[in-house]
Amino acid sequence: MKCRKCQRKAVINMRQHKLSLCAEHYTDWIPDQTQRFIEKYAMFGRQDRILVAVSGGKDSLALWDVLTKLGYEADGLYIGLGIDGGIGYSDQSKSFCEIFAAARGLNLQVYDVADRLGAPIPLAADSVHRGRGRPCSVCGMSRRHIMNAAAVDGGYDVLATGHNLDDEAATLFGNTLHWSLEHLARQGPVLEARTGLVRKVKPFCRFYERETAAYALLRSIDYVYDECPHSEGAKSIYYKQTLNKMEDERPGTKLHFYLSYLAAKGQGAFAETADPGAERLHPCPTCGQPTTAPGECAFCRTWDQVRERSALLL
């Protein structure tokens, strides 16, 4: 297997592109492609200030690396969730982000959930769900809120996340199995800004997970290998496994599925079904962030409840 560009030994073969590349050309190819996607989906321009949500995993750190390499002004945001799982998951993750930023002289903001909100995510979720079920919904909702607030408060033009094609295809697969029109109408490389909501972009949405992993490896980016200890048995993992089997049998399945969905959306599928009424936003009276239902937002309601219940336990 030889590099298509220089005939040296290739380190990766991307079957869906019929393309093999050596280490040098691959670590150029990923930023080149990222720039192509940034322009194709009109994600942001040279003048924009970008906040990259970094988890300590390969995708978000590789994204931060690529954006910096491409010359964009990109700061990092790490959210400390307080997840241990017997492996010090959050501590490890934070450390990888800090080492990455320090080595490159980049600006990393750290938001610690327990310090700022009074409880780490697993404890908060336990108190809301009374000890049953996974903390993923509380975690996701809290992270979305915190990321948006950090981007808005910091005056950033855009929030970038490291979602890769495997993530996007799995989300799309779930939304499709349930034909969730609300989600099908919104998924994509860009979620436009609205009053109080920063523009969100996913510059890696067309890269397979193995491609971002290979990039991180070749660029010597240290990252947390473990999945979140709470993700075991999650639906997203089940969707990924199903898609992985299909990808094995028919290489390119995920990319084709995602790109043909974007094309269908571009042709106006779901345009008629997005309910504009349901999407009207109101500012939360407590935090000021936009929320769909009038009254306090889900974030404020949830964390009020967490603090009340924690106080009862003390």
Q: Judged by CB, which is closer to a second copy: 265, or 301?
A: 265
CB of 19 to a second copy, least distance (A): 23
Residues facing 26 on adjacent strands: none
Give the span between the Cα atoms of 311 and 82, in whole angstroms: 19
CB of 212 to a second copy, least distance (A): 23
Reduced to 3 states, what is the DSSP secondary structure of residue 133? Answer: coil
Which H helix or E strand runs over 282?
A: strand 282-283
Measure the CA angle with vertex 254, ends 162 and 219; round to 5°: 40
Binding site residues, a second copy, CB under 8 A: 176-181, 184, 238, 242, 245-246, 249, 253, 256-257, 260-261, 263-264, 267-273
Q: Judged by CB, which is closer to a second copy: 116, or 256?
A: 256
CB of 266 to a second copy, least distance (A): 10
Q: Which residue has the tokens 């970008």?
A: 50
Q: Judged by CB, which is closer to a second copy: 103, or 264?
A: 264
CB of 209 to a second copy, least distance (A): 19
CB of 122 to a second copy, least distance (A): 26
Q: Which residues contact 156 (CB under 8 A, 6 or more apart)?
A: 49, 50, 51, 75, 150, 198
- Amino acid sitting at position 210: R
Cα dihedral sign, 239-240-244-245: negative
Q: Judged by CB, which is closer to a second copy: 8, or 15?
A: 15
Q: Judged by CB, which is closer to a second copy: 6, or 271?
A: 271
Task: Identify the burial level of 111 via C-beta atoms within 10 angstroms of its C-beta, where 0-12 means exposed, 13-18 middle and 19 or more buried.
Answer: middle
